[in-house]
Amino acid sequence: MKFLMLLEKVKELNIPKGEYAVLGSGPIAVRGLRDSKDIDLIVTEKIFDQYKEKQEWKLKEKYDNKYLEKESIELWNKIGPGKWDIRKLIDRAETIKGLPFVNMKDFMEWKSSAGRKKDARDLKTAKKYLQNPGKAGRKHL
């Protein structure tokens, strides 16, 4: 349920389409496969630089990358591990509930490369969903 409120906050940011996409657990949370207590947006350098100047956004660091955070929304202009092309991920995003989400193929590749416990759980959830999309989901939305 918290995830739906976060989606509304993202819409209120009015970031132009083509300048961001939802990543993190967002692609499975929007499908109702699990809830999420925060929302991760990958953004272009232009958007990152604009929000960096806004006083209410705090610059933080995690996973060897810097990001901006405000009220459980995180803006990332770089993601790891390795080098991911943010522009390509944004361009290939799919629109769900009026917002761009990193597509499931890219989401699964990113989760596979990250190698954390939570990523392995999310990957298992995503694979199960893709095997039978009509049966899974909606329990958390």
Q: What is the CA radius of gyration of the chain?
A: 14
Quote the number of domains for the chain. 1
Q: What is the mean pLDDT of residues 57-71?
A: 93
User: Do the domain assignments include residue 137?
Assistant: no
The two three-digit tokens of residue 97, written as one number: 């509930």
> What does the pLDDT read at residue 101?
98
Q: What CATH number did the domain enclosing 78 receive?
A: 3.30.460
- Asked, for residue 140, whether it belongs to a domain, the answer is no
The pLDDT assigned to 1 comes to: 55
| 137 has a pLDDT exceeding 60 | no
Tell me the H-state helices in the chain.
2-13, 26-29, 45-52, 86-91, 104-114, 117-131
Fill in the amino acid letter for 17.
K
Asked if pLDDT for residue 140 goes beyond 70, the answer is no
Tokens of 8: 């509304």
The length of the chain in residues reads 141
Instruction: Domain of residue 103: give its range.
Output: 2-131
- Please give the pLDDT value at position 110: 93
pLDDT of residue 123: 92
Inside any domain, residue 138:
no
User: How many angstroms from the chain centroid is the CA of residue 97?
Assistant: 14
Strand partners for 36: none
pTM exceeds 0.75 for this model: yes
Q: Which residues of 117-134 are buried (b: 16+ CB within 10 A; e: fewer)?
A: eebeebbebbeebeeeee
Under the banding of pLDDT at 50, 70 and 90, the label for residue 139 is low
Q: Which helix H or strand E contains 94, and what residues bound it?
A: strand 94-96
DSSP 37: S
Q: What is the pLDDT of residues 67-80, one digit of tens each?
A: 999 999 999 999 98
Mean pLDDT of 79-108: 94
pLDDT at residue 126 above 80? yes
Is the residue at 141 inside a domain?
Answer: no
Q: What is the per-residue pLDDT across 2-46, written as a single tens digit (0 to 9) for each?
A: 889 999 999 999 999 999 999 999 999 999 998 899 999 999 999
